[in-house]
Structure 1
Amino acid sequence: METSKVYDIKVGLFVVIGVLLFLASILVVGGDKVFLSKYISFKGKSTSTQGLATGSIVSLSGIQIGNVRKLDFSENNAEITITMDIEEKYKHRITSTTTFSIKTQGALGDKYIFLDPGDLLGTPLEEGSYIQNNSNKDLLDILAEKGNDFGKAADIVVEVHKLLKTINGEDRSQKLMENLLQVSGNLNVLVKETHQTLKDFRKDLNPKEFGSSMSHLSNIMRKIDEGDGTLGALVNDSTLHHRLLRILGAPERNKYLKPIIRKSIKQGDHLQSNKTSMNSP
């Protein structure tokens, strides 16, 4: 009987030790070193926790270094005090230039504390000190603030969808593409014909004759610019211009010319009618 009891005790101890080792391995492999690491606390203040909860992750540049231990209202104002437990081995990285912000991770929108280490040469903070709050807004805050603008963008997308749906209806898009291809083909033919015409023109063009023509044209333009000849005088002499304007179109001249012309026309018509009456039997 005693041998049996000793055997049972040994088996029981073996099972207990095995279970303890199994649990310890789970804790170590799972990354939960609560019982193996020493933690120190830091605090931060924020006007809103934005869904942050006790146990939320505290991350330093993307590496998990602790968890949120407590959330409570501040005594003197409406801000919320956030108490964070951080592994002691990262204490030297929490300096006076370190800032924290509340961010979102994952598709479910879980909140966590993101620590920006700042300058590592800064003064290390003592345990229980407050970490500065980085006021940069989270993505969800930006979406909430710009909700109306995103709504307008959604309306634009809907209108574009309606437009494309209308264009695609009754094979309009296919017809449009066919017309564009036809226009493109016609333009291609036109460009080729124009190119061929210019090529033929260059082939038939005599460089000497063209140069001589351009030389004569240059001489004519030079003479006009210098005031030679009638055309040059008209272009360069403003006196001739004003005289011609008074004769042909000035209001003062027309005031006298028009009555004289009308009177002459009437006299001519009267003489013509008298001749007609005298010749009639």
Structure 2
Amino acid sequence: MELVYSRREKIVGVFVLSVFALLFATVVMLGRGKDWFKSYVTYYTVFDESYNLQENADVKLHKATIGKVSKIDLTGDKVRVTLKILEDYQSRITKDTAVTVKSPTFIGDEYVSVIPGDPNAPVLAEESEIKSIPKKSIEDLLAEFQVEKTAKRLSAAVRNIADVTEALKDPEGPLFASLNELQTMLTNLAKATSKTPLTVDYVNSNLVTINKIGNELYFNLSNIRDLLKGVEIGLEHLKSSLANVDNASHDLPKIIHSTDMQG
């Protein structure tokens, strides 16, 4: 017997299949984002206390999440913490790797921080124990950052600032002495500035006088040049006259001899 579906039943069937396909795609996307479909390897570590660590807390390497805390058990006087590490990062867990508990802030959620060991060391086998390092207390953090020394330095700096403030308030102190010297310099500068117009006028007057002297000197030089030209012309005439006299001195004996012959 062949089943016959109406048009409405076909539409409903397609809708239901579409919903299931959408749900499946959503689950796949969420699973990829939450690493649901990735393989994990299991390790464990032991702490002296839980340090407020919770199940599903992150396991981080260089502050990047590489796994989760899957279980926390009390074993005797110790706390056993089971870790699920992504298989992709198993090669980072070597025999000298260590873990500790950290928190991003004083009020943040604690997480397990992986401290990498020698990359050339053998990889730690699955289900093995990773050695642990106790979580640092507030006292340890204060000692690490030398808060006490910093506080002492800050206190000394505050005292120095107070001493400097008192020194600045002292009328006989360096601040008021510097201000008085500055006032004196400003007064002298004001006096020098008030004399500046007179000095400028005096300089302008001297420049005018120098200009006049320069013009007169240029005129006198022109006259001297003309005078030298006249002297040069006179020398030429004198030279010509001397040449004539010289010629006459040569002709004079001949004239005297000629006169004696006629007598």
Shorter-chain TM-score bucket reads: 0.5 to 0.7
Question: Take 1:10 and 1:82, find their aligned partners in 2: how far apart are those partners?
Answer: 48
1:178 counterpart (175, 178, 193) = 175
**Structure 2 unaligned residues grouped into runs of 5+:** 183-263
Q: Could you say what the CA RMSD is over the residues aligned between the two structures, in angstroms?
A: 3.8
Q: Deviations over 1:138-173 (max 9, x none)?
A: 3635246799x857965875786588579758x838
Determine if contact 1:96/1:122 at 8 Å carries over to the other structure: yes
TM-score by length of 1: 0.51
Aligned in 2, Cα 1:47/1:145: closer, same or farther, shift over 3 Å?
A: farther
How do 1:1-281 and structure 2 match up within 5 A? 2-28=6-32, 31-34=33-36, 36-75=37-76, 78-106=77-105, 108-135=107-134, 138=136, 140-143=138-141, 150=147, 157=154, 164=161, 172=169, 178-179=175-176, 181=178
Question: Take 1:98 and 1:174, find their aligned partners in 2: how far apart are those partners?
Answer: 67
Determine if contact 1:167/1:173 at 8 Å carries over to the other structure: no
Q: Deviations over 1:165-189 (max 9, x none)?
A: 79758x838995623636998xxxx
Aligned in 2, Cα 1:93/1:143: closer, same or farther, shift over 3 Å?
A: closer
The alignment partner of 1:105 has SS state of coil
Question: Take 1:141 and 1:6, find their aligned partners in 2: how far apart are those partners?
Answer: 71
Question: Take 1:174 and 1:25, find their aligned partners in 2: how far apart are those partners?
Answer: 77
Aligned in 2, Cα 1:177/1:91: closer, same or farther, shift over 3 Å?
A: same
The alignment partner of 1:130 has SS state of coil
The alignment partner of 2:10 has SS state of helix
Aligned in 2, Cα 1:152/1:175: closer, same or farther, shift over 3 Å?
A: farther
Q: How far does residue 95 in structure 1 lie from its aligned partner after superposition?
A: 1.6
TM-score by length of 2: 0.54
Aligned in 2, Cα 1:177/1:49: closer, same or farther, shift over 3 Å?
A: farther
**Structure 1 unaligned residues grouped into runs of 5+:** 186-281
Determine if contact 2:96/2:121 at 8 Å carries over to the other structure: yes
Question: Take 1:47 and 1:184, find their aligned partners in 2: how far apart are those partners?
Answer: 71
Q: How far does residue 16 in structure 1 lie from its aligned partner after superposition?
A: 2.1
Runs of 4+ in structure 1 off by over 6 angstroms are 144-147
Q: Deviations over 1:38-69 (max 9, x none)?
A: 11210111112322111111112333110111
Question: Take 2:171 and 2:83, find their aligned partners in 1: how far apart are those partners?
Answer: 63
Opposite residue 45 of structure 2, the aligned amino acid is: G
Question: Take 1:82 and 1:183, find their aligned partners in 2: how far apart are those partners?
Answer: 75
Question: Take 1:109 and 1:173, find their aligned partners in 2: how far apart are those partners?
Answer: 51
Q: How far does residue 10 in structure 1 lie from its aligned partner after superposition?
A: 0.7
Opposite residue 176 of structure 2, the aligned amino acid is: N
Q: How far does residue 32 in structure 1 lie from its aligned partner after superposition?
A: 0.8
Determine if contact 2:142/2:148 at 8 Å carries over to the other structure: no
Question: Take 1:107 and 1:153, find their aligned partners in 2: how far apart are those partners?
Answer: 20
If asked which structure has higher relative contact order (CA below 8 Å, sep 6+), I would say 2
Determine if contact 1:104/1:138 at 8 Å carries over to the other structure: no
Opposite residue 33 of structure 1, the aligned amino acid is: D
Number of equivalenced pairs: 178
Question: Take 2:132 and 2:119, find their aligned partners in 1: how far apart are those partners?
Answer: 17
The alignment partner of 2:169 has SS state of helix
Aligned in 2, Cα 1:53/1:16: closer, same or farther, shift over 3 Å?
A: same
